[in-house]
Amino acid sequence: QGTAEDMHRGFIFQSSEGVDSVVCGLTITGGYAEFGGAIYCIGDARPTIYRCIVSENKAYMGGGISTEPTSVSSPLIEQCLIVKNIAIIREEPLGLDGTGGGLFLVGDGFGFGGVCGPEYTAYPTVRNCTITGNVAELIGGGIWTMFACYSTIENCIIRDNAALEFEKDQEIGVG
């Protein structure tokens, strides 16, 4: 069980892992981290998260799963249940604390050296998933996506999520 004093998560993908890096059939629960309470993808990681349950994790951004801001991480998240995760706001909030209760999907909107282009764009895919019962203390109860991030979300059930500060973005928020 992770805590604010002893942070840890289930998985971190940080070494250019490709789609053949697969997490399949696991329940990932009890994580607590700055980004991605259960799973965090950084750099140009492109793992496959398949038939997993991501439940009851906490993070400041992406209670369940997060990609790294200023990265091009593009995970494939398929046939997963993402439920009861929380994006929390720390006592002294930083940036986007409390964003993306279930998923926090971002790209490198600034580009290296201030240049934007396709090479700085993330393409995460969320397919055939159920995203429910997640809470963001700020915005994007189910999913938050922003910057140069072209998220594909297809054939998913996204319902009964909550964004406490910006109520119009209960299910999916785009920044």
Residue located via tokens 């992770």: 2
User: CA 86 to CA 155: how far, in whole Å?
Assistant: 23
> Tens of pLDDT along 65-115?
999 887 889 999 999 999 999 999 988 877 889 999 999 998 776 554 445
Verdict on whether the full-model pTM lies above 0.75: yes
> Tens of pLDDT along 103-162?
999 877 655 444 555 666 788 999 999 999 999 999 999 999 887 678 899 999 999 999
> Given phi > 0 = left and psi -120 to 50 = alpha, else beta, which region is 141?
alpha
User: CA 63 to CA 29: how far, in whole Å?
Assistant: 11
